[in-house]
Amino acid sequence: MSARVEDKLFLDRFNVDAESHLRLIDPRTCMEKCAEQPCLFICPANVYKLEKERISINYEGCLECGSCRVGCPHFNIEWRFPRGGYGVRHKFG
Amino acid sequence: MEEIFDAAIVGAGPAGLSAACILADRGVKVIVLERGEYPGAKNMFGGVVYGHSLGRIIPDFAQKNCPMERNIVESRISYLSEQSSISLTYRDQAFFEQLQNNAFTVGRAKFDRWFADQARAKGALLVCSTVVTDLLKDGAGRVVGVKTDRAEGDLRARVVLLADGVNSPLAAKTGFRPEVGPQHVALAVKELIGLPEEVIDERFGVSAGNGVTNEILGNVTMEMNGVAFVYTNRRSISVGIGANLADFAKARVRPYEMIERFKTHPAIAPLIKDGKPLEYLAHWLPEGGFETVPKLFGDGFLIAGDSAMLFNAPHREGSNLAMASGRMAAQTVLEALQRGDFSSYGLRGYGERMAESFVLKDLKKYRRFSSLLENHRELFTTLPRGAAEAFREILTVDESPKKERLRGARKALWRGAAPLRLLRLMWDAWRAIR
């Protein structure tokens, strides 16, 4: 299946803030204690990517569903809404 | 802001705006805080609003240019395996006439903006681009307002209505509702597929602004407990699919790959053929049911809509529960204003109203529904194929006697679920919906 999430996110409008609204509380937890790393799969916008020695966060395409916050088995994601007016802006909804 | 509002509402969705309309109509000083740039900027659902519920708030909504997409005249439920679909379709002339607008599709970016305009016309103050980050409490722990992410953004109110939706970091932070567990929500993704109006009319056998909803179960959710849907809008089709979030984590299925796969299913692909993807969205559904509904009010606050986990999964109703709960919260606030009592005791009328209404009665009635799906995985794994093969046996025409065909059908069904398992399923299903 060649579903490219980038193509889907390209359809959406975002007002991207300069600062991320998502943060790993302790990045080492992800690599040392988290075998499952569900954030790499459950995120509908593929915000979380496994790099060589860490997990990177591409918050720009976040659809603000909250799944990573409650899906992280170590509650290692500090999650807030983007500042007022920032983030995804639905055209149709 | 030094001003004290009578009521502050967090979230300009169906619950918050219903309450705002009723309160503003009665001259109550009400402010609605919305984190999106405009109401609907962050909001997403399957797509159906119910005319009765909206009519209780805005009786002449159709005359007031409510941005309806299509009046639903036909409802389909389909059960899909990889190569087949079994469907039950119900269409009735009543939905063209006396039951017109019983259910209709909307796009939230337009609908919520329209709804907010109605509230503003009645005198509610709407402030967008503002995130409520915390609740203001007095020494005794009573909620007396909200903190926002604006400079000097504290705002005092006699009562706060939390209508901030199912994904609520505010709930997680303040504990007014327990943070949801992944097993209590479904993660759904939806794509808007643009097509000319007449093409949609033709494919779904409708015209003149009428449309179809199709709820879909089966193994399209890749063996996870989930559901999919296809709804018609005026010039687009909403295609969505979702599954329990805990299942997603376990199965390591990517939501965007699942929807892409779903779009290629032989029963779905022809409906959206040559369509142009317009938007891709993701949202939770609060499908935990009755057990996950929090205490609906406390000192200085009430909770309504998705924020209170109000969702009727078997009937795919949510927006009506949001509107009804918002309405009942507003009625309770009116009483509390009259008496000047915003304590939990003063707001208890909300709990009573909700308990006596269809909202909690329905959720209570279906309280076993989520465990039915959870406990009967065969519904999403082996049964779709078993059921399809049973039908195939019955409908294959050759010269074998029907007795053999029916035996084959029974065997096919039993490959989907063993006889005792099927009995158990029927028993549990009956208990879940009786």
Nearest to A42 among B167, B169, B187 (CB): B187
Nearest to B254 among A41, A64, A87 (CB): A41
Number of separate domains in chain A: 1
Report CB contact under 8 Å: B128, A85. yes
Report CB contact under 8 Å: A93, B185. no
Domains of chain B: 4-67+107-178+294-367 (3.50.50.60), 70-105+180-289 (3.30.9.90), 370-433 (no CATH)
> CB of B433 within 8 A of CB of B369?
yes
Report CB contact under 8 Å: A41, B253. yes
- Chain B residue numbers touching A44 (CB-CB < 8 A): 187, 189, 255-256, 282
- Chain A residue numbers touching B191 (CB-CB < 8 A): 8
Tell me, letter by letter, the H, E, C secondary structure of B26-48: CCCCEEEECCCCCCCCCCCCCCE
- ipTM (interface pTM): 0.96
- For residues B379 and B262, give the distance between their C-alpha atoms in angstroms, rounded to a whole number: 17
Residues of chain B with pLDDT under 70: 1-2
Percent residues over pLDDT 90 in chain B: 97
Report CB contact under 8 Å: B278, A11. yes
- For residues A75 and A18, give the distance between their C-alpha atoms in angstroms, rounded to a whole number: 24
Residue A80 CB neighbour total at 10 angstroms: 17
Report CB contact under 8 Å: A89, B107. no
Among B75, B72, B76, B64, residue whose Cα is nearest residue B120: B64
Q: What is the pLDDT of residue A1?
A: 47
Q: Does A49 touch chain B (CB under 8 A)?
A: no
- Chain B residue numbers touching A15 (CB-CB < 8 A): 37
Query: Which parts of B244-357 fold into alpha helices (H)?
Result: 245-251, 255-263, 269-272, 319-339, 348-356
Percent residues over pLDDT 70 in chain A: 97
- Is A48 inside a domain boundary? yes
Q: What is the pLDDT of residue B244?
A: 97
- Is A29 inside a domain boundary? yes
- Chain B residue numbers touching A81 (CB-CB < 8 A): 35, 131, 169
Report CB contact under 8 Å: A1, B255. no
| CA contacts within 13 A on the Cβ side of B319 | 28
Q: What is the pLDDT of residue B127?
A: 98
Nearest to B279 among A11, A41, A45 (CB): A11
Q: Indicate the pTM of the whole model.
A: 0.96
Could you give the 3-state DSSP secondary structure of residue B103? Answer: strand
Q: Tens-digit pLDDT profile for chain A (93 aa)?
A: 456 999 999 999 999 999 999 999 999 999 999 999 999 999 999 999 999 999 999 999 999 999 999 999 999 999 999 999 999 999 999
Which one of A81, A86, A89 makes the best mutation probe of the B interface by having the most chain B beta carbons within 10 Å?
Answer: A81
Q: Does A90 touch chain B (CB under 8 A)?
A: yes
Residue B409 CB neighbour total at 10 angstroms: 21
- Chain A residue numbers touching B38 (CB-CB < 8 A): 89
- For residues B41 and B43, give the distance between their C-alpha atoms in angstroms, rounded to a whole number: 6
- Is A93 inside a domain boundary? no
Which one of A70, A72, A80 makes the best mutation probe of the B interface by having the most chain B beta carbons within 10 Å?
Answer: A70
Q: What is the pLDDT of residue A59?
A: 98
Read off the pLDDT of residues B186-197 as tens digits, 9 standing for 90 and up. Answer: 999 999 999 999
Q: Domain with A29 in it: what CATH number?
A: 3.30.70.20
Looking up tokens 């009937």, which residue turns up? Answer: B315
Q: What is the pLDDT of residue B173?
A: 86
Q: Which domain holds residue A32?
A: 24-83
Q: What is the pLDDT of residue B2?
A: 67
Read off the pLDDT of residues B213-235 as tens digits, 9 standing for 90 and up. Answer: 999 999 999 999 999 999 999 99
Q: What is the pLDDT of residue B7?
A: 98
Our CA-based measurement puts residue A46 at a distance from the nearest CA of chain B, in whole angstroms, of 8
Report CB contact under 8 Å: A85, B129. yes
List, as one string, the DSSP characters of B157-198: EEEEEE---SS-HHHHHH-SSPPPPGGGEEEEEEEEEE--HH
Q: What token pair was written down for B210?
A: 């009428």
- Is A79 inside a domain boundary? yes
